[in-house]
Amino acid sequence: MTYEERCEVNFDHPDSIDSPLLIEHVRALLAGQPVDAPRYDFTRHARFPTSERVEPRSVVIVEGLFALCYPELTDVCDVRAFVDAPEQVCLDRRVYRDVHERGRTPGEVIGRFHGHVAPMYRQHVLPRRAQATVVVSGVEPIDLGARALLETLPVAVP
């Protein structure tokens, strides 16, 4: 795809994620095997040609908007966290990030938010809140959410 074509793709749909690879990598990490995870260039809507080596640890954290959307993934999770924040807070944070880190214009970000992000969030992400074992606030200080999450872990984190 050309860059212009990639700009039209709805990357805010769960199908935009290579979920089979993600699930394969999480299973490998849980089995104690390292993985070479793809790296993504958000400014070009494309993967970098190089990957990042991820070594297994006693706790594997899968972070992402769609982390609770794939049953094959949630089935292997001991803890499922949902970070809850009002849409306006999400939009404000996204505008700041995408303008400063990804070279987007505010209008571009706002248009994509209302056309892709918010509808996909309401359809695919928000319903998964019910599957979470812990819901943390996305507006309170991060240490409060981290503490609530750590209290739900089945193992002690060093």
pLDDT reported for residue 142:
86
Which of 69, 81, 54 has its CA nearest to residue 150? Answer: 81
pLDDT-based confidence at 156, cuts 50/70/90? low
CA distance 142 to 81: 14
pLDDT reported for residue 130:
94
CA distance 70 to 54: 21
Q: What is the pTM of this model?
A: 0.83
pLDDT reported for residue 145:
84
Domain spanning 3-152: which CATH class is it, in words? alpha beta
Which of 99, 98, 59, 105 has its CA nearest to residue 78? Answer: 59
Q: Which amino acid is present at 146?
A: A
pLDDT reported for residue 59:
85
Distances (CA, A) of 25 to 15, 21, 31, 66, 79: 17, 6, 10, 15, 18
Mean pLDDT of the chain: 92
CB 59 within 8 A of CB 157: yes
More confident residue, 112 or 1: 112
Which of 79, 78, 60 has its CA nearest to residue 22? Answer: 60
pLDDT-based confidence at 13, cuts 50/70/90? very high
Instruction: Give pLDDT tens digits for 41-100.
Output: 988 889 999 999 999 998 898 999 899 999 999 999 989 999 999 999 999 999 999 999
Q: Of all helices (H) and strands (E), which one includes residue 81?
A: strand 81-84
Domain ranges (residues) in the chain: 3-152
